[in-house]
Chain A
Amino acid sequence: MANVSVFAEQRDGKLKSASTDIISWAKSNGHTVSAVVIGKGIKSLEGELKSCGADKIQFVDDSTLEVYTPQAYSEALISVVKNTNPDYLLAAHTPMGRDLVPYVAMEMESSSTSDCTSVEWNGDSLKCRRPVFSGKATAEVEFIGNDKPKFITIRANTVPAGGDRPGEGVTTDHSVDLSNVTQKALGMEKGSSARPDVTEAAIVISGGRSLKSAENFKILEKLADLLGAAVGASRAAVDAGFRPHRDQVGQTGKVVSPSLYIACGISGAIQHLAGMRTSKCIVAINTDPEAPIFQVADYGIVGDLFEVVPALTEEIKKIR
């Protein structure tokens, strides 16, 4: 039985499911799990952490930690890790996790691996797999030596979600001296959309210029809300001003790889394909049967998106 610490990432008092998944997975594999929560006004998360499997909960609650900065968060995490001395420190491979964890590992002169897409317990040791060379090969990583803790970030949806083994939930408050922190977050600027970001979503629905107006993206948004999907756009649609640049999928926008990608009215120029062709399942809706998007699509619908998408939305509503 290993002592496993999990960096329980929260933003605005809400835990990331990618983190709680890791807690319950470690717990259900029979390990002692300690959740490390860093932030301001986070004590209310105790119940949720306990029920998903945290045996111990380490709080670092400080007003300096309200918004993430690498310096303050790493000092907090280093302090907790030094006090609790776990065998592993696991975190979700989110923007915060991928920033924080390798840095802390380096500061503590310990070993780390990141962006694992498979993790497997072999007794008390972990065997990890991670993609290399743009996903063309997979590296198998095992830790040798006695570094403690070993740092690992795990990609979202890698470990099974949920778990029914609550932990003991013993809380400890850590006070960390953050007076030397020079980095200061001036504030957070958020996108207006309540929908997930295209790079984080498991399902992405994208529209092209043939949607004709920003207004018409509502058709896609309805379907997206039903599926919990993100709404993306081709460069042409962004250029035409239908969507903000942060939604752009493609070579010069975001590169996404969701489980399901629905391309509506996108012809599939190389600029766009470069950003989504590694999606696990691609559905293309286009009036032009010659459109290159059909070359990469797993399922193709030759038809007018203004008919197909609402029909699809209705059908899914019926099933639910």
Chain B
Amino acid sequence: MIQQIAFVIVALIAFGLAFFRVKDLLKLMKSHNGRYSFPTDIIPRLTRTLLDVFSQRAVLKKPIIGTIHATIFWGFIIISFGTLEQFLGTLVPGFNFGFLGNPIYLIFLFTHDLFTLLVLIAVGAAVFRRAFAAPKYLGRSSDANLILFFTGLLMVSIFLMHGFLILGTQFHYSHREALFASFEISKFLSNLDFSGSEFEALGISFKWVHMILVLGFAVYIPGSKHLHVLAAGPNTFLKPAKTEKPMTSIDFEDESVEQYGAGKITDLSWKDALDYYSCTECGRCQEVCPAWNSEKPLSPKKLIVALKENLYANKSVIFSGKTDEITHVVDEVNTEDVFWACTSCRACEVACPVFIQHTDKIYDVRRNLVMMEARFPLEVQTVFKNMETNGSPWAFSSDERINWADGIDIPLISSEPDPDYLFWIGCAGAFDDRNKKVVRSFAQILKKANVKFAVLGTEETCTGDAARRIGNEYLYQILAKTNVETLNRYAIKKIVTTCPHCFNTIKNEYPEFGGNYEVLHHTQLIGDLISTGKIKPRKTDFGGTVTYHDSCYLGRWNGIYDEPRNLLAAVSVGPVVEMEQNREKSMCCGAGGGRMWMEETLGSRININRTEQAKDTGASLVASACPFCITMVGDGIKAKDYSNSLVVKDIAELINDATN
């Protein structure tokens, strides 16, 4: 009876404390005002979430620590049933799950004991990793150490509980056999000079140790990084439905909106809050972040943790309703430089095992800095002004847009009103001498394959990608609406482009503005032209091995990894080798997210680091499929004086040179 009363009191206190902590977290989450549209495809999402969570497949992308985590996770599920059994058994003396019948109960006891052992081993491995083999991206965390220590203690308490109870009570022999590990321990414990009732008392004591540790966990978790135990599941449920992820737009017609982007933490959405609750500080994002790896102040992990800290620091003003007193989301830790360092390469989001969407937050804060406070790198002013007056980030006049085609007969949409494909040139292809060669090459390929195509010529204008990602949504929408109007006026159905940034914007972000087209990247169309026999490029020697540099907006933002590689393999005599960071772990060239037009004054140069990685493969040619990547890697080659041994070319150039 005393045990029962004691348990009820302890459990009520623990669950009560945990309840109030979680309630505060939910209240903080609800204080976020940013827009988030809840998904409607509930059933498929539920199925996928269960699969994601129970298979642990995201964590298992890193096999060693993934296995450690998965073991602890699966163990946590099974051992929870054991804990439930102890709780109920304490309330109702003599209760256990034995009523389930023998094979089931025996299997339960066996797996329970097995996982107690496995979790103990896994915890040991995790401690070893943190102590002796910690990867750089992990960082030190007393929170993690504490949790590992107590998890280990939990398992030890289970073994001691079972061990002593086996000695002290009349466990059915088959139960003893099922608790195979505990049984071995009990043999060892039997050397102690205690009576049966004393063994039983010890067993019950360790049951209490175990139960109190579990209840302690319940109280501790909401304030620690182990909050992911609660938040990661829902966050997995809400992960983006597809690889392609358009940015959220702002309704400028809505006059009730007085605030654009996120100035305060509560200007973000409740989903953003769920993101920082979910963060386990594992550091996988930081490991792949090009900004962090080039010594910039941005680490996606630190960004998310600091957002959470910012929220907690504002807790009392939020709860007292003094929203005016909420401090700025740009603070001493998350400085302006942090938000400007992002290349929007999305490596962090792809690496994150709990599906945190880092770029959403960066974009929202940039929007606030740009549209509400006019705080942005000086050189961006020129870009905005050029986009406004010239429809191009560079100060070239739109009547020069067709100059790239000098000397080739390129059909304008006015003379070819019903083309199979509209060839979208983009500003780089139109104005940059290096990239003019790329669009010329692709146009030649289209002509060789007798594709009926046309270009908009001077009617094309910048898609606005950079403006949007820098944070000038207003400017972006002007450009987007202009382009959609032009494209719809000509009733364009299919578009092909050599620029992944234009590709992503037109394909994924124009539908919201009424622009619905089938959009292809040139590497996709070239693949089709080869497979249908329209062009037959011959194998060509590019001076040795070749490597391919993934464009972020082709790869991580649109899942196009194979098409360019297949083309390269089809046309190169020399073998195609991969850089160490390739495909979804590929490193950005440094130009995305508007960084193309900003000075890189902090840390080392991303483009030079990437060029070095290409050089390290021993390849004599870096193939790319993006005008920005070509510019950045080209600059890297020049800066390192590799021009004699390394060249960067677009795949269109390679195919065109190899095609009669």
A134's partner among B379, B390, B599, B605 (CB-CB below 8 A) is B390
Q: Does A252 contact B (CB under 8 A)?
A: yes
Shortest C-beta distance, A97 to chain B (Å), equals 20
Q: Does A255 contact B (CB under 8 A)?
A: yes
Main SS of the interface on chain B?
helix
Q: Does B431 contact A (CB under 8 A)?
A: yes
With A133-B389, A134-B389, A236-B638 as known contacts, state yes or no: A274 contacts B394, CB within 8 Å: yes
Say whether B397 contacts A252, CB under 8 Å. no
With A239-B639, A252-B598, A295-B433 as known contacts, state yes or no: A270 contacts B394, CB within 8 Å: yes
With A239-B605, A270-B431 as known contacts, state yes or no: A209 contacts B395, CB within 8 Å: no
B432's partner among A239, A240, A270 (CB-CB below 8 A) is A270
CB contacts (< 8 Å) of A236 on chain B: these are: 635, 638-639
A270 to B379, CA, bound (A): 15
Q: Does B597 contact A (CB under 8 A)?
A: yes
Q: Does B382 contact A (CB under 8 A)?
A: yes
Closest to A252 in B: B379
Q: Does B434 contact A (CB under 8 A)?
A: yes
Say whether A209 contacts B379, CB under 8 Å. no
Closest to A293 in B: B433
Q: Does A136 contact B (CB under 8 A)?
A: yes
Shortest C-beta distance, A216 to chain B (Å), equals 16
Main SS of the interface on chain A?
loop
**Which residues 348-397 of B have a CB within 8 angstroms of A?**
379, 382-383, 385-386, 389-390, 393-397
With A251-B379, A252-B598 as known contacts, state yes or no: A274 contacts B389, CB within 8 Å: no
Closest to B600 in A: A239
With A134-B395, A251-B394 as known contacts, state yes or no: A270 contacts B599, CB within 8 Å: no
CB contacts (< 8 Å) of A277 on chain B: these are: 395
Shortest C-beta distance, A64 to chain B (Å), equals 29
Task: Please count how many residues in chain B sit with their CB below 8 Å of the partner chain's CB atoms.
Answer: 26
Say whether B382 contacts A240, CB under 8 Å. no
Shortest C-beta distance, A78 to chain B (Å), equals 27
CB contacts (< 8 Å) of A274 on chain B: these are: 386, 394-396
A245 to B432, CA, bound (A): 23
Task: Please count how many residues in chain A sit with their CB below 8 Å of the partner chain's CB atoms.
Answer: 21
Say whether B434 contacts A269, CB under 8 Å. yes
CB contacts (< 8 Å) of A134 on chain B: these are: 385-386, 389-390, 395, 397
Closest to B398 in A: A136
Closest to B598 in A: A252
A270's partner among B383, B433, B605, B638 (CB-CB below 8 A) is B433
Interface mask (A237-256 → B, CB under 8 Å = 1, otherwise 0): 00110000100000111010
B-to-A contact residues, CB < 8 Å:
379, 382-383, 385-386, 389-390, 393-397, 428, 431-434, 597-599, 601, 605, 631, 635, 638-639
26 A/B residue pairs, CB under 8 Å, sorted by A: A134-B385, A134-B386, A134-B389, A134-B390, A236-B635, A239-B639, A240-B639, A245-B601, A251-B393, A252-B379, A252-B597, A252-B598, A252-B599, A255-B395, A268-B433, A269-B433, A269-B434, A269-B631, A270-B431, A270-B432, A270-B433, A273-B394, A274-B386, A274-B395, A292-B433, A292-B434
Besides A209-B638, A270-B394, A292-B434, 19 new A-B residue pairs in contact (Cβ under 8 A), listed by A number: A133-B389, A134-B386, A134-B390, A136-B397, A236-B635, A239-B639, A251-B395, A252-B382, A252-B598, A253-B379, A269-B432, A269-B635, A270-B432, A270-B433, A270-B434, A274-B394, A274-B395, A274-B396, A292-B433
A-to-B contact residues, CB < 8 Å:
133-134, 136, 209, 236, 239-240, 245, 251-253, 255, 268-270, 273-274, 277-278, 292, 295
